[in-house]
Structure 1
Amino acid sequence: MGGVASSMAAKFAFFPPNPPSYKVVTDEFTALLLPTPFPHRKNVEVLKLPTRRGTEIVAIYIRHPMATSTLLYSHGNAADLGQMYELFIELSIHLRVNLMGPILSGLRVMYPVKRAYWFDIYKNIDKIPLVNCPVLIIHGTSDEVVDCSHGKQRWDLCKEKYEPLWLKGGNHCDLEQYPEYTRHLKKFISTVEKSPSQRKSTDRREKPRKSTDRPEKLKNQSNNLDKLEKLRTSFDQLERSRRSVDCHEKSRKSIDHQLERARKSVDLLDRIRTG
């Protein structure tokens, strides 16, 4: 069923807007390319990228003053740059990243760049296991074009899985309207900006300890407590015995002292009598 849906979608669903929702003009004073009807922004650069087929793809590069990463955004075939322009601006602001888009037609793939992996919307199931970096998959549960099971299947095949986001009620082209979308992307970017060693260290801290060895540990702890209790009881008994002996010793000394005093008194009476 999934293959049939993919085939039908490929033939009928993915057509760019006609006419386009934007056009590119050259500023007569600066010679900069400007996307109209959108106002010129100093931090937005419009580019024309040549392809292997000899054509050109229009792209925009948005700079953020506090960015430490650049997000490559590949929008779907059924959209164009004009429709994505405002979203690109908002993502750059909220995620604090530079943003380059669009990169290619096909599957919507987003990742901070150090290495690029190119995907096709129907063939990436063979390529996703080759990716050696954290992978985030976001999919709407009500997607009528590409079923959510496709996203889950790809997530299962990832080497380094990042917590996926299955947007309940999300369709094929409305995921950006959900607040969880931007929040989850922000968490993902903060994770991938860390070095691999930092990510592993964070994972170890966040993962709960395995419970497979807990019964043995609890047994050892119980045995140790029993031993300590026995030692404490033994010491208590010794202490009571010592106190009892001390008490007897004090009583014996008191009696000896009294006997000594009585003996001296008898001796004194004897001396008086004989004197």
Structure 2
Amino acid sequence: MSTLRIGIAGISGRMGRLLAEEVLASGAQLAGGTSRSGGLEGVTLFSDTGALFAASDVVIDFTNAALAATHAALAATHRKPFVLGSSGLSVGQEAAVAQAAHVTPIVYAANFAPGVNLLFALAERMAAALPAEQYDAEIVEMHHRQKVDAPSGTAIGLGRAVARGRGTTLEECGMESGRDGHTGPRQTGAIGFAALRGGQVVGEHTLLFAAGNEQIALTHRSFDRRVYAVGAVRAARWVSTQAPGLYDMKHVLGMG
């Protein structure tokens, strides 16, 4: 059986370098990558992402939301499995990724850390047990000062998990974020978001269920970005054997 060839979009970036290390540590073959700022010693660089897909069995992409739809379309064109970790996708961009998944298997996740995905599962179960009329759900997240999107993809993933547990969607129950000035009372059933930015915080998320007589908090902290790289490489190995479809980390972890 041939060694799995994994390509990395944006291989010279902070996440790209970690992904390259974890691909090699996993025993897979590093097919190469794309880069806007030069390459890594001994790593094959491709002039465009289409060439990277052609040379790889699976491609991992943690670049940015603006490229997600284009890269998903390339995955479909080349019929290669795809792991997408970019955050901040619009509804239209997510729809484009879902469309490509009709042709090729895609893992698209808000977060690749196993602990965060267990947090999603707990959030859904707790939301189902704690009525929205009595328990307000608030999500607080903090990231490094360079992060460009807010709330984070993980925070939105937590909000979606809470909404699922309550039999609705995040769009239907409403998001309350960026509160400022005279906002009036909190809306019952809405899910609140607060985004903090500063320093070099890798990622911290807290989900609060607040009632009149008790408060419950679930918190996850990431101390090293490598946890995301390890999870993404695990997802790449898993998705390489799957049928076309749109998957997330709960499927990779056997919770789907």
**TM-score computed with the length of structure 1 as normaliser:** 0.30
Of structures 1 and 2, the larger Rg is shown by: 1
**TM-score computed with the length of structure 2 as normaliser:** 0.31
Query: Would you tell me which structure has more helix in proportion to its own residues?
Result: 1
Structure with the greater relative contact order (CA < 8 A, sep ≥ 6): 1 or 2? 2
Query: Would you tell me which structure has more strand in proportion to its own residues?
Result: 2
